[in-house]
Amino acid sequence: MNTAPLKRWLCTVSLGLATACASPVGRTRFDNQPITTLVNDRRSIPEPRNRPFVPHLHQLDSVSATIDKPLAAKGKTRALDINALGRVPDSTWFTNRIGVRDISPEQILTGHGDDAGPMAAKPWKVVSTKVGGRSPGVQFIDANGVRYLLKFDQKGAPELDTGADVVVQRLVWALGYNTPVDEIVYFERSDLVLADDAAVKDLYGNKRPMLVDDLEEILNARNAPENGRYRGITSRFLPGVPIGGYARTGLRSDDPNDTIPHEHRRSIRAQQVLFGWLGHTDVKVDNTLDMWVEDGDAHYVRHYAVDFGNGLGVWAKGSDLPWSGFKHSVDLRYGLASMLALGFWTRPWEKVPDDVPEIRGVGWVETEHFDPGGFQTNQHYHAFAQMDPYDALWAAELLTHIEPKHIRAAVQAAQYTAPEAEDYLTRTLVARQRKAEQYWFERVNPVDNFELDADRFCFDDLLVKRGFDDGASTRYTLALYNRQGRDTGWASTPSSDHNGRICVDGVTPSRSQEGYTILGITTLRADERLEPAFVHMAVDPSTSELRVIGVWRR
């Protein structure tokens, strides 16, 4: 496993971008080394300061950024947290799970906790009220000494927030992000006991002793118990010291390991694709959390995504705002278009509430009106304006590893009581997944998964492999170049097949230094010529065999 920093090859790429491309393959070159799969951003650091979230300043910044969005989207920078293949290596931000490691439906169903969970450790000792967020709740310590946050559904909307939170959390974790362990719980009033030092806290750090009446008020403000049991969701406290959410742009100045501006991280930018699939529109600093963690003798920052209860169309339905997911809360484009249309324009979200069946616990999430390229969070999120087609390609390829059985397991973890909820949400998420994949694969040359075996070179056409094109009208032009970008004279024009896996023979090293060889792949789909992808190869000094060392897309 190569844990080398990314900067070395990225500098090479940067030089290539800054220099005029004198040959078809450009000037980008990669070091002849194994592909980086792990980034060393776990160097020990002192405890950073806690950064409080200030809602009013956040909203003001979001409105300002929305107005400036057209300017922010110009002059995009390629993502900087990627390896030579354009993939995101493991780090404190992201861990490659599904598609790299075997993630079973059972793991998704039960969560990724390493204990039995709070249901097996009652009673729960309430130590504090929940601080922040729109829903009241409490903090408690279970009988095993594990600390949890307990939240509830909004009154009159049973299973809506809690169900969405668990489904989205399970899938976001499977995709590779750090999340807390969230779990649906059912409990009786007698399962909650008040700690002697329990306190009521507010956003400003003020607190007073918590009384039984305070706890009763919180419970009475939620949905009444059914069959003597309340429904809630627990979120296990994350290990370490909380130091606030991570900024939407720039770096955390007191974390020397934070070296890539957040808006230039593919793992963050591409969340627009992943969150669009899941209808997760409530994306803001307050729904991220940095933890200063202890790991042996080292202390460093790990970055989490948290709080998914407004996903799956819950924000839209719970707040009666069907535009959620289609536009920002402040969006000049739609405001101007509506004004000019004098009310005669049917906006894309207006039919959504009528097209979603009324099922207990299910939000306004559907497929027909879902536009993968037009998905918008409620408030402007800077990194999403920087997303380019190659960020989206990475995310869409990641989605291909989520199977219907994984989705169903995530939905089952939500414990919906309406039998039709499981089938509807599973079917809808599968359909939205495929719609998102097709949309983004059609906007690039979606060749990937390159493999060399002696002189045989194989790759996938993801559009064909996923069944969005039968390959009948698809052709490929392959050519070999040396390190200097000169054509070696080798070429091949293979056709696609319905499986989307294409292989050619005769790919041998050039006479360049280290046998450096560049394979250009141009895809011709019907009458459209897609931008070529260039696979860089060199002879592995330990095996004397040609190996893939990088991919450049233009």
Rounded CA-CA distance 451/31 in Å is 18
Residue range 360-375, pLDDT digits in tens: 999 999 999 999 999 9
Q: Is the pLDDT of residue 130 over 60?
A: yes
Strand 456-461 to strand 447-453: parallel, antiparallel, or no bridges (unpaired)?
A: antiparallel
Q: Which residues pair with 36 in a beta bridge?
A: 2
Q: Return the pLDDT at 53.
A: 66
Provide mean pLDDT across the span 295-312: 97
Neighbours of 373 (CB within 10 A): 12
Amino acid (one-letter) located at 216: E
Q: Return the pLDDT at 59.
A: 53
Confidence band (pLDDT; 50, 70, 90) for 6? very low
Nearest to residue 285, comparing CAs of 34, 52, 10, 546?
Answer: 52
Q: Return the pLDDT at 58.
A: 52
Mapping DSSP onto H, E and C, the string for 44-89 reads: CCCCCCCCCCCHHHHHHHHHHHHHCHHHHCCCCCCCCCCCCCCCCC
Secondary structure of the chain: what % helix, strand, coil (to 5)? 30, 25, 50
- Look up the CATH number of domain 447-553: 2.60.40.10
Q: Where are the domains of the chain?
A: 447-553
Write b or e for each residue in 187-203: b if 16 or more Cβ atoms lie within 10 A of its Cβ, otherwise e. Answer: beeebbebeeebebbee
* Average pLDDT along the chain: 90
Q: Which of 55-69, 74-88, 411-425, 525-539 has the lowest mean pLDDT?
A: 55-69
Rounded CA-CA distance 280/277 in Å is 8
Q: Return the pLDDT at 9.
A: 39
Tokens of 538: 């060199």
Residue range 229-281, pLDDT digits in tens: 999 999 999 999 999 999 999 999 999 999 999 999 999 999 999 999 999 99
Q: Is the pLDDT of residue 15 over 80?
A: no
Provide mean pLDDT across the span 170-186: 97
Percent of the chain at pLDDT above 70?
Answer: 88
Q: Return the pLDDT at 382.
A: 92
Name the range with the highest mean pLDDT among 1-10, 49-58, 69-78. 49-58
Q: Can you give the pTM of this predicted structure? A: 0.91
Q: Return the pLDDT at 62.
A: 52
Confidence band (pLDDT; 50, 70, 90) for 97? very high
Provide mean pLDDT across the span 520-546: 96
Residue range 450-459, pLDDT digits in tens: 999 999 999 9
DSSP three-state, residue 491: strand
